[in-house]
Every structure is written in C-alpha cells, then in structure tokens.
A and B are shown apart, each in its own frame.
Chain A
C-alpha cells in the first residue's frame, strides 16, 4: 500500500500531541504524587464512609504535621544526594529536653522550647560537620547519631514520661474552627514552614546551590560554590526541623515520652520525600511534592486504621510503599543515564 490516508496521519499527529501533553503533565513535578494522593483518598472513601468527613480530614492533617515538618529537612538533605536517618530520634531527644526542663526544672515554656530546639540543631551541626569535615557517608554518620540520640533520650529521661505540661507548651496543639473542621496552630505552622522552604529552595541562590550540589557536586565546586557550606546548612536545617517537629509532637501528645518518635517517624519522613517525587540520587525534587507525599503517608495510616487494619500491617504497607517509590526513582534514573 503506497497511498497514505491523510486522516490517519492527522490522527496520529493528534495522538502524539496528546501523548506529549500527557507526558509533560505527568513529568511536571508534584503532579504525579498529587494524582497518587487523589487515588489513595478515593480508595479509602469507597472503603469507609467516615474517611471524607471534615473531622477526619482535619485529624489526618494533625497526624501529618509532625512527619511533614521532619520531611522538610529531609527533602533538603536528600536534594544534596544525602540522607538523614537521625531526624526521628533527634526529635525524640528534643522533646524530652523540652518537657523535662519544663516539668522537673520549672524552666519557663519559651526557654525550654528553645533549649530543646537548640539540642536538635546541635545534632544537625554534628551530622553536617562529620559529613563535610571527615567526608563520611551521610548514611553511616546519621545511623551513628540516630543511636546516640536514642541513648541520650533514655539517659536524660531516665525512662520516665513527663506529663502535666504547662499550657504554653501545648499552644501548637490548640485548635480553631474553619469550614466545619478543627485545625491546630501546628498545622498552620507546618504550612508556613513549607512556604518558607519552597521560597528558599526555588527563589534564592542558596536553593540553586542545594540542587547543584546534589546534581553534580564536582560541577558545583568548579563554579565556585562552597559545597561544604551548603551541606552543613542542609543538615543544620534538618536538625532545626527536628526541633520544631519535637515542639509540635509535645503539643499533640501533651507529654514527654522517651518512646515517642523512634519507630515510624524516621522512615515516614523519607517515605514522604520519595513519594513526593524527590530523587534519592539528588538534584531533583520539590518541597511541595514532599508535602503531598507526607499527606499520602498520613492518609494511608489514617485510612488503614479506619478500615480496621492492625497497626503491624500498617508497617507492612508503608514498607512496601517506600520500596515501590524508590524503585520508580531508580528506574527513571537508569533511563536518564
């Protein structure tokens, strides 16, 4: 057959345009994660009538708040092709410092909070210092500080919980009503932090440098970027985020608990970042994607509880989820290379 059917070729052109459009929409950062979030929400709303109730959705946000803030620091670290495994236990230590100072030593709320946050920042500086000065792999450094922070949490707390907190420590757990749902000030703080992180990463030279260091550290160094200073800054900020997350955790649980934040939060923060489309290979990703990723994690935990799945199976599901997300990252990375 030698003659070509014009409508067929036109149609082929149209389909390839549509495919191209589809490809561009799907490859726009955060669109893929957003579709995944909608699909997850659709699934749970079919499975449970209570899922889409405003009261439940605002509960999801409150559950997202702590992991969401941890994931901001985690995003910055992962964008530099690093990882911070210590964010959860550092947060636990910060929380114990805050509550112990307030309850046992009668330190006023604001200094207690600041000292707790400062403890977490110190861990961030320690992580960043070891990664840059001795050039140790971030994985090993933060695995070490994970254990140090874990041990210190139990030493400092003497394995006791600290209830009966002064009301100022609980400010970010207070709620206000909006559109029929209750929202905490902590959720507002998380959203503000995301806005600031988005601005810093996309609208400032520092943000460009974070991406460049993760994308091609040698090229970054050759263009005159101080790679070590950038790395130190992201680990320090991850420590700061652990401190703020500790403050939010205290406000939510209303006590200092040495066993809090040591199991799920670490992996959940990484899961949120990867589900949000940030590559573990560095240099690619958005903090908005991370917010969506953290929400997906929150929706999963909430939804699985609603439909009566036992907690232990929730671990199973999030474990599978993070491996799936990392596999997608690995496959796209291989296709690029």
Chain B
C-alpha cells in the first residue's frame, strides 16, 4: 500500500519548538492518512508529547506548518483543534468521576430542549443525551449497565471507554490518544485496545502514542519514530520487527542492532 499518493488528513512540515536552549522539536515532519492508526513512538525526551501538543493545539510551534486536509491551520488552543474536528484522549482518565456517563459524554456540549423551554429556560434535554450516548456505546461495543450511573462506579477500562467514546462522538476528522492504556491493568488494556480498533473501523483515523511495543505492532498501520526532536523513520509492522524499531528509536549502531536482532530471534 503506497500511502504517499493520497492527501494526508493531518500533515506537519518542519515543526520547531524551543524552550530556552532546549530544542524539543527540531524540524519534525508528520503525516496521518485517512482510516489509519498511526503510532508515534520515541524515547523520553524525543519530542513525542511536544509534537502531539502542537498537533492538538496545546502549544504553538515556533516554526513550521500544520495542514488539515491540505489547508494550513493555526491552532491557538485545544479548543481550536476541537472545533476543527480533532479530539484528544489523555492517559490520566480525564473524566468527571461524580457525574454520570451521559453527562461526561456531553460535558461542555450539552443539548438543550427545542422550543421555548430550551431557549428561554435553557432546559437540558437529558433524555436525548442519554439516548445518543447509549447509541454510541452500542456502536463501540462498550458494555455498561446504564448511562445514568456515575463514572466512578466503573472499572478503569470502562472509564477510559467513556473518554474514548466521548472523543469518537465528537471527532469529525481524527482522534489523538496519548498513552490511553498507561494507567490500566492487563485486562482493561485489552478492552481499550479493541476499542481503538473499532474507532478505526468507524472510519476515524487515530494517532496513538504508546510505550508498549507489542500493542503498537498489533494495532498500528504505520509507526512514526521520533528521535532528538525529529521524525527519523516511518516503518510498518510488516517491514520491521520490534527490535529494529527500538533500535531506530534509540539510535543504536548497526552492530548493536544485529546483536538485538539475534537476541530477538533466539
């Protein structure tokens, strides 16, 4: 599959971000194509989170250009990115635990009743929001008993399910997932990984930041490798092995790579 003849949904050229003398991004490029899961891997300090923050509007790059569907964009805040149809899922379960599931899904985007009750009295349409939330949960096959139970009664995996469902509900272009399973146990991680695959099935491209190589190689269509503030390679699970990807990521020498490969195969 040659991805290069299509227009990327999201694209970045030569992103630079400096903090004093520290160069967090040093001319990083980036492409995300329709319908794919693109994993971003890199050692600590390689510039993963700075890149993601630039793409999601959480920070503004000093240099470089970001294009959405081919058009240049300047996100001054996460709100701008959200308006453009980019939703982000964070590792630390960014949900309101005391509020119920439907409320969390619609938080900040509440639906009001039609007519004078909604316009004049600003009355919420709770039933419609519960119905919508139920529909999204069914589509994503997230099993919960009721949309009106508080999120704190859910397991960690289900809570992250709420965060993913919220992102999938509102994202029109793409979803960014920043270490979505970092806070979860083994079984719950499995649920969330399956969920990420289903988000792709619904046609939404996903940017997945993860430390976990087996998960990356299982889910990703392409793997974007960061090192020293740049993209050093884009590989696929078909063309490269995990030790090779790790070697590129850490800048290992040829000899070290061969060593890694023999150990990996034995």
Contacts and interface: CB of A to CB of B under 8 A. Distances in A.
A218 B99 contact: no
A283 B110 contact: no
Given A205-B124, A219-B94, A224 B109 contact: yes
Nearest to B83: A224
A205 B107 CA distance: 8
B122 A204 contact: yes
B158 to A, nearest CB: 16
B26 interface: no
A224 B103 contact: no
A211 B152 CA distance: 14
Interface in B90-128: 90, 94-99, 103, 107-110, 112, 121-124
A215 interface: yes
Interface in B185-244: none
Contacts of A203: 121, 123-124
A212 B96 CA distance: 6
Contacts, number: 65
Contact of B98 (A204, A205, A224, A284): A284
A211 B94 contact: no
Nearest to B166: A223
B152 A205 contact: no
Nearest to B105: A223
User: Which DSSP category, helix, strand, loop or mixed, fits chain B's interface?
Assistant: loop
B97 A215 contact: yes
B82 interface: yes
Contacts of B95: 216, 219
Given A215-B99, A283-B98, A208 B110 contact: yes
B76 interface: no
Interface in A283-337: 283-284, 336
A219 B94 CA distance: 5
B96 A220 contact: yes
B56 to A, nearest CB: 10
B124 A223 contact: no
Contacts of A212: 96, 99, 103, 107
A211 B124 contact: no
A224 B96 CA distance: 13
B124 A204 contact: yes
Contacts of A199: 121
A224 B103 CA distance: 14
A216 B97 contact: yes
Interface centre among A208, A225, A336 (most CB of B within 10 A): A208
Contacts of B90: 222
Contact of B152 (A206, A224, A225, A336): A336
Contact of A219 (B79, B96, B123): B96
Interface residues of A, number: 21
A211 B110 contact: no
Contact of B82 (A206, A220, A224): A224
Contacts of A211: 96, 98-99
B8 interface: no
A228 B114 CA distance: 28
Contacts of A220: 96, 107-108
A225 B94 contact: no
B78 interface: yes
Contact of A205 (B97, B99, B112): B112
A222 B110 CA distance: 15
A215 B108 contact: no
Interface in B61-101: 78-79, 82, 88, 90, 94-99
A218 B91 CA distance: 13
Residue of B79, B82, B99, B121 with highest tally of chain A CB at under 10 A: B99
Contacts of B109: 223-224
A206 B122 contact: yes
Contacts of A283: 96-99
Nearest to A206: B122
A336 B152 CA distance: 8
A216 B94 contact: yes
Contact of A208 (B79, B103, B123, B166): B103
Contacts of B112: 205
Interface string B148-168: 000010000000000000100
Interface of A: 199, 203-206, 208-209, 211-212, 215-216, 218-220, 222-225, 283-284, 336
Given A203-B121, A223-B109, 5 more contacts: A208-B110, A212-B103, A222-B94, A225-B108, A283-B96
12 contacts: A203-B121, A203-B123, A203-B124, A209-B108, A212-B96, A212-B103, A224-B79, A224-B108, A225-B107, A283-B96, A283-B98, A283-B99
